[in-house]
Amino acid sequence: MCSPRPRRRATALAVAATATFALAGCSGGTSGKESTGSSDALTTFTPKGSGAVDRITWNVFQGEPQTIDPFQSADYTPNMINSNMCETLLAQTPDFQIKPNLATSYSNPDPTTWVYKLRSGVTFWDGSPMTADDVVWSMRHNLTDKSSFYGYLYSNVASIAKTDAGEVTVRLKKPDYLFNDELASFAGVVVEKKFYEQHGKKVGTPGVGVMCTGPYKFDKWTRGQSISVSRHDGYWNKSLPRKVKNIDFTFLTDDSAITSGLLSGQIDGTYGPPMAGLAQLKASSAGKLYSGPAPLAVTLVVANHKGAMGNADVRKALQVAIDWKGIGDHVYAGEGTPASLQTVPAVYGFAKDDLTSYADSVKTDGSAKTDEAKKLLAGVPADVKSKQISLVVPQQAETQQLGLAIKAAADKIGLNFKLNVVPATGYSNYLYDPGTRGNTDLLYTQFWPNIPNPLDWLGLTAVTGGTFNQSGYSGIDGLYAKAIGTKDDSARSRLVVQMERKLHDEMNPMFSGIQLTNDVWLGSKITGAPAAFDYVYYPWAAYLSGTGK
């Protein structure tokens, strides 16, 4: 269950730049990054290498995970590690395609049946072959175990059965044309049945680890220090380079410590290097910084319809008053560009042509439109407009700057706006706990979906029962249900556009904010990693190789 979550890599700009930004409400200036947001400036893969490397250190910016059990893995840190150990039936590739993986093929003989042919010759790290029994057990675990983050994706599943030695059949209660694609997330993870039955709830802990089929196998977890993995030499996919033999995943979260480690070579690589250190990293000969496309959006979620945010004109006025372009340039160091829709292009998937056309029709440069905002507010009743609007952000440099920019925009158009900054370690409670959230009107989120499919994004954020539909918005429920049950891609695509149009017109329940790129830093001795944001479910480390330096 990939979800909106606060970005834990706190980032900062120079003090002078921050002060200017806050006073100017994000207006004017550039970040100094060339071709910001342009596809020409982005790369899917870093350059290939050929040399072997015995050991590298890779930092995971969000800190130490609580578990590496893939069924409970749904955030940057555990996924960045697990994606190299535990594989899925289908795979989402760095170019945002969904392709066969542990399942070599699948078929849909009738609207409520999916049949999966399994890859032969796949072994777990202990040498045991992957069987249909392991696949059935893994899928049923997602279906029945309440602790699994991915169980909700099995809501339409009636049964899962082994129907041949290398075949598994899933029968649905009703047609669901999102389910199959979701098997490219940990909804489709395959683990060893006997290992889980032996270790139970201890799976994923430091003393037990996991047992999977991926290119790297669990070695050791030293609490507070690192998780070490080593190459699985019996791995089935010989097309992946797998030139790095051992990887130590470290858990530094301090910007200065991470930047220093990268520059000194103590850390060989990281996704999401600190923005506060980008200038130093770009100027350094110790490695290279790459940017790739990503399904990432920084947005505001409408969490409360009972206050002023219940009025569509107030929502739209605030959205157009915010200088999203300035936020992308200054808060996100030029790596954020205004998003036309709530869903970003990297996940348009089967609806790419239709969504691109609609997005182009409503596209703006993202600059603040104060006069337009004031016109929208002119017809709003005074008692509505005067209600206080509260926004909660985590106490990190970039999110505080974001909050100040939004408050400046709200103040400028006469809204009664309050910014609340809370400790970063407790911010997730506002997203997940209604009691903590209370009557908060707006929440900061940085959102990424499970898979490159717009229905996944919409189902999480804008449908009744969606994990991150905090306000209980129900405006697209009917269209969504129809789309899920529609087999034809073109017809389903048109339904997606109808949903996006309604969400955009209402600016509900999520603002169209900014889309982000993905950064990866590679020290001078390694290369080959995907630069695209694909490290949460795909074995990115298997592409690493040496540079010969």
| Lowest mean pLDDT across 290-294, 393-397, 532-536 | 393-397
Domain end among 168, 196, 224: 196
539 and 431 belong to one structural domain: no
Say which CATH number the domain at 180 has: 3.90.76.10
My answer on whether 512 and 523 are in the same domain is no
For residue 10, is it within any domain?
no
- Is 391 a domain residue? yes
Q: Are 366 and 328 in contact (CB under 8 A)?
A: yes
Q: Is residue 3 part of a domain?
A: no
pLDDT tens string 274-289: 888 888 999 999 999 9
Looking at 175, 196, 217, the residue that finishes a domain is 196
Q: What are the tens digits of pLDDT across the range 18-38? A: 322 332 333 222 223 333 333
Query: Same structural domain for residues 99 and 238?
Result: no
Tell me if 207 is assigned to some domain. yes
Mean pLDDT of 420-443: 92
Taking the CA atoms of 499, 504, 508 and 511 in sequence, report the sign of the dihedral they define: positive
Q: Do residues 51 and 111 share a domain? A: no
Same domain, 419 and 407: yes
The whole-number pLDDT of residue 21 equals: 32
Helices and strands in the chain, H and E counts: 18, 19
The reply to whether 143 and 21 lie within a common domain is no
Give pLDDT, residue 60: 95
Please write the tens of the pLDDT for every residue from 1-11: 434 333 333 33
Torsion of CA 208, 212, 218, 221, to 10 degrees: -40
Measure the CA–CA gap between 501 and 427, rounded to whole angstroms: 31
Which residues partner with 332 through β-bridges? none
Does residue 534 belong to any structural domain of this protein? yes
pLDDT at residue 541 in the model: 98
Q: Do 452 and 338 have their domain in common?
A: yes
Q: What is the mean pLDDT of residues 435-445?
A: 96
Do 541 and 475 share a structural domain?
A: no
Asked whether residue 121 falls in the same domain as residue 140, the answer is: yes
Q: How far apart are CA 300 and CA 512, in angstroms?
A: 8
Asked whether residue 116 falls in the same domain as residue 209, the answer is: no
Based on the fold, state whether residues 141 and 253 are members of the same structural domain: no
478-503 confidence digits (pLDDT tens): 999 999 999 999 999 999 999 999 99
Read off the pLDDT of each residue in 308-331 and give the average, rounded to a whole number. Answer: 96
Inform me whether the pLDDT recorded for 325 exceeds 50.
yes
Q: CB under 8 Å to 41, separation ≥6 — which residues?
A: 33, 34, 35, 291
Share of the chain above pLDDT 90, in %: 85
Query: Is 122 within the bounds of a domain?
Result: yes
Please check the confidence at residue 112 and state whether its pLDDT lies above 90: yes
- CATH of residue 535: 3.40.190.10
pLDDT at 75: 86
CATH number of the domain residue 464 falls in: 3.10.105.10
Mean pLDDT of all residues in 115-131: 98
Q: Is residue 5 part of a domain?
A: no
**pLDDT confidence bin for 362, thresholds 50/70/90:** very high
Examine the fold and report which residue of 196, 223, 251 is the final residue of a domain before the chain moves on.
196
Sheet strands (E) in 262-353: 269-271, 287-302, 336-338
- Evaluate whether residue 492 is within a structural domain: yes
- Asked whether residue 140 falls in the same domain as residue 56, the answer is no
pLDDT tens across 47-104, in order? 999 899 999 999 998 899 999 999 999 888 899 999 999 999 999 999 999 999 999 9
DSSP label of 353: H
Q: What is the CA radius of gyration of the chain?
A: 23
Domain count, the chain: 3
- Structure confidence by residue, pLDDT tens digits, 130-166: 999 999 999 999 999 999 999 999 999 999 999 999 9
Residue 311: per-residue pLDDT: 98
Domain that holds residue 465: 15-38+293-516
pLDDT at 252: 94
Q: How many residues does the chain have?
A: 549
